[in-house]
């Protein structure tokens, strides 16, 4: 297992080994000991699976009061995955990072205190992610996808009503 830090504090990329032959492949997607060895000592309580169509943008989502850390990977297709540091105490507060995820052996660790979103680049995208806390609708928040200088593949993505009406960075709730 390999850890590669991103420019944002506490966020990093995790790469697991992929064993392939003529039958297909095998990936050990989660092993608590291996994750602990690279500094990811989180307890995961929920697994989520999201399917999107081409040009769908989901995000930028986060939870206040009961924030979630997320371990994200793309199972099918290709996505541009984006995170934004909303922790006022962080030296990377207000900065964002994006990565193309396109293989299940590469994951992005999204720490507590970050907003997260993704844009589907292919006909179908399946995203799988583990979370460190449960989903609480009453604490769910959305940072407006186009408020920051994020290089999305399109300026006219397919959005949910929730994502169309997100809050600007200057107005959104943040973490201490």
| Residues 173, 139: Cα–Cα separation, whole Å | 10
Q: Per-residue b/e over 87-96, b at no fewer than 16 CB within 10 Å?
A: beebebbeeb
Can you say whether the dihedral through the CA atoms of 26, 27, 33, 37 is positive or negative? positive
For 15-37, give the secondary structure using H, E and C. Answer: ECCEEEECCEEEECCCCHHHHHH
Please state the length of the chain.
176
Tokens read off for 87 = 């922790």
Q: Which residues are catalytic?
A: 61, 129
Is 27 buried (19+), middle (13-18) or exposed (0-12) by CB count in 10 A? Answer: middle
- 10 Å Cβ neighbour count for 29? 14
């Amino acid at each position: 297992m390999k850890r590669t830090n991103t420019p944002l504090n506490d966020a990093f990329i995790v790469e697991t080994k992929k064993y392939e032959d003529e039958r297909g492949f095998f990936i050990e997607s989660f092993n608590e000991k291996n994750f602990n060895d690279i500094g990811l000592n989180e307890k995961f309580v929920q697994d989520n699976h999201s399917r999107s169509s081409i040009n769908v943008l989901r995000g930028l989502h986060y939870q206040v009061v009961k924030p979630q850390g997320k371990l994200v990977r793309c199972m099918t297709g290709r996505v541009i995955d984006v995170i934004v540091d909303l922790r006022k105490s962080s030296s990377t507060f207000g900065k964002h990072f994006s990565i193309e995820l396109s293989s299940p052996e590469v994951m992005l660790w999204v720490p507590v205190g970050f907003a997260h979103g993704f844009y589907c680049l292919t006909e179908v995208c399946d995203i799988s992610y583990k979370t460190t806390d449960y989903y609480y609708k009453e604490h769910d928040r959305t940072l407006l996808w186009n408020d920051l200088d994020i290089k999305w593949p399109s300026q006219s993505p397919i959005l949910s009503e929730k994502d169309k009406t997100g809050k600007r960075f200057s107005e959104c709730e943040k973490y201490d």
